[in-house]
Structures are given as C-alpha cells and as structure tokens.
Amino acid sequence: MTEADWLTGRDPDAMLALVGDRLSDRQWHLLACAVARRVWEAIPEGDLRDAVKWCEQNAGAAHAHRGRAKLTAARDAARDAAPDQARAAQHAIVRTADPDADPDSFVHADERKVNAAVPLFQAAARYAGLSVDQAAEAAVHAAGVVALLMEMPPGEDQLAGVRRLVVEATRIRTAASLHAAAALKLKAAGDLAADLDTGKNVNVRYAASLEKVTKEEESLATKVGDLEEAKQRADRKAVVRFLLDIAGNPFKPYRLPAEWRTDTVVGLATTIDELRAYDRMPVLADALLDADCDEEAVLRHCRGTEAHAPDGAAHTGGCWVIDLILQRDPAYFTAPPLVPPPPPPPPSARPAAPEGKPASANWDRLLKALQAAGDDEDDDKPPTL
C-alpha cells in the first residue's frame, strides 16, 4: 500500500493490517468506541450510554475494570431493560397505527359488509407492530456493543465484533423506521378511505386499497433488501474515516515542537477532548497559528480541509492532532514512518523490428539465430532457422 492508497483508502481491513501492530491498546479501543457511536441513537439513554463514555475515558484498560461492581451491575440492568425501553419509544411513534391490534378486529362483524379501509388498517397495524419488535431487536444488538467495549481486550477481535453488531443494529433500526413510516402512511390512507365510504362502488375501492397495500409491500421489500449492503458500505467508509483521524498519515512524520504547545493550545486540546467539542477544532488551528505553527498537515486536519477528505475529517476520541498536542501514545508518534513499497520495474526493452517487418514470432526466432551465429566459430555457416 502506498501513501496515496492510504489517504484515499477504500479498504479498512487492508489499512488496519498495515498499521495494526503500530496502534496502542488505547488507539484500538478508541477506534472501537468511535464505531460504537454510530449506533448511538439505538442505545437507550442512561447507564448504557454512560458506559460508552466511561470506556472512552478509560480506553485501553476498560476491560480490566470488570470488577467495578457498581458500573457493571448498572450496565447489566440497563442492558436487560434496553429492549423494553426501545419498544416503548417506538410504540409511541406508531401508536396511531394500532401496533397491538388484532388484524381481524378491523373486519366488520357482518361478513357480507365490505369496508375499503380494512386492508389499509390491517397492513398499517402489521407494519407498526413489526417496527416495535425491530426497535427492540436493534437495542439488543446495541447493548451487545457496549458489552464488547467493556469486556473484550482492545484489538482486532474487539473491533470486528463491534463492527458486526453495529451493522446489524443499524440495519434493523433503519428497517424499523421504514416500517413505521409505512404504517403511518397506510393508516392515513385508511382514514381517508373510511371517510369516503358511501356504500357505493365499495368493491372497486376495496380493490384499490389492496393494490395500494401491495405496492407498499413491494417498495418496502426492495428498500429493506438493500439495507445489508448499504450498511456494510457505510461501515467500511466510517472505519476508514475514523482510522485516518486516529492514525493520521503513517508514511510521514509530524512536527510539533514544544514552543507550539502553548498553554492556550494545550488548554483548547484538553477541552475539545474531554467535551468531544470537535466543532472547536478550527479554533485550535488559529491558536496553533498564533504559536507560529507552520505544519500544514496539522493545520489542515484541524480545519477539515485535507485534500483526501472532501467531506471533512471525522474527528473522534484519539484524534492524532489532539494526541500529539497532549503527548499521548508517544511510541506511535516516534516510530519511524512506513516506507512505501518500491515501484515495479519498468518493462524490459525489446529490439525493434526493421521497417516494414512485423515483430512476429518468426522475427524473434531469426534474432536468436543471428545472435547464436555471432558466437559460432564458423562465420561462414548460415544460421539455422
């Protein structure tokens, strides 16, 4: 992998393989925490979110503190309660679509009477109930992410487990949102159909309702079916961006002499790190400029104007600029830069064929024969073709 390949990386696994043995336990753990925050909305507020924050503050050693009974007990209780919390929150969103309703409850007691709104109400209730169940399932995966952050040693295996659960949690949570939106849409259509029920052309309107439900089912099947691939792509992109923020450019050393680490610079870096106030990174760039910093890579990373990051830097815990200022993980920053692989050798030169002669296999044989003849003692002997 060259420097250009790294900066425009598309394969996080190859990038991790390149720098994995250079990253400290703390950096590995912060990378896992950054990935875990991608499912932040599926983690119920309270002890589980507090546990993630605690892991960030104790990165690299959180798994060694499993004996902290109070924290572990609170996290376990929150993990057990997470599905019910998520279920209740999602239930409130789709409440008007009757997520707990029995589909048969929408059918008129007199089987001879047909209501065009019934298929719409039934589908709405079905999707609403499904969204509630999926929200609870996503919360289970999200709680599993927190458990991995606290209990597994930092490294490749922990990150792989967190990534897998985050992909599942985000996929299921997005499916829950899609089903909730469909439920509310069909419920509104059912209300309209019920309001227009005049008893005339009811069979036609009933068929139209069935067609509307079928179209919604087909649309949902396509959207939900595409989620797995979409979430895998999102995972790869996120890991690359987080890794660029934590590892920087391992092919080049960074300069940050002591005179640039003024009280203002160190104070700003500390505040940004503790409060996750990454919106203040441009202010940090200004403070570095005031300290006569002329390291372009440092300034551009603070401002989010790096050429390889058109969307801006994805700042997270362990940002290499913050760590460099606060002198964290010194072994990483004092390690010699990676050496790019040598370029491939140029293609071997080949004698050109005489004008008017194609460079064919016969011509190659003729060249070899002439060369052999030149080494022959009998110069009068014609070459054998």
* Helix, strand, coil shares, percent, the chain, to 5: 70, 0, 30
Residue 344 lies in a domain: no
Residue 341 lies in a domain: no
Among the candidates 245, 261, 293, a domain finishes at: 245
**In sequence order, what E strands does the chain have?**
none
Q: What is the dihedral of CA 127, 133, 137, 139, to 10 degrees?
A: 100
CA separation for the pair 239, 166 (Å, rounded): 12
Residue 135 lies in a domain: yes
135 neighbors 176 (Cβ within 8 angstroms): yes
Residue 87, both tokens? 């279920």
Do 195 and 64 belong to one domain? yes
List the domain range (segments joined by +) for residue 84: 11-245
Q: Tell me how many domains the chain contains.
A: 2
Do 208 and 227 belong to one domain? yes
Q: What is the dihedral of CA 207, 213, 216, 222, to 10 degrees?
A: -100
Residue 319 lies in a domain: yes
Do 125 and 199 belong to one domain? yes
Number of Cβ atoms within 10 Å of the Cβ of 197 = 14
Do 239 and 256 belong to one domain? no
DSSP letter, residue 108: -
- Tell me the pLDDT of the chain (385 aa) as tens digits: 899 999 988 899 999 999 999 999 999 999 999 999 999 988 888 888 888 998 998 888 766 555 455 556 666 777 788 889 899 999 999 999 999 988 777 765 555 566 888 899 999 999 999 999 999 999 999 999 998 998 889 999 999 999 999 999 999 999 999 999 999 999 999 999 888 766 677 788 889 999 999 999 999 999 999 999 999 999 999 999 999 999 999 999 999 999 999 999 999 999 999 999 999 999 999 999 999 999 999 999 999 998 887 777 789 999 999 999 999 999 999 999 998 777 777 776 555 555 555 555 555 665 666 666 665 555 555 545 4
Do 151 and 279 belong to one domain? no
Specify the pTM.
0.82
Do 91 and 181 belong to one domain? yes
Q: Which amino acid is at 264?
A: T
Residue 354 lies in a domain: no
Among the candidates 200, 230, 245, a domain finishes at: 245
SS3 76: helix
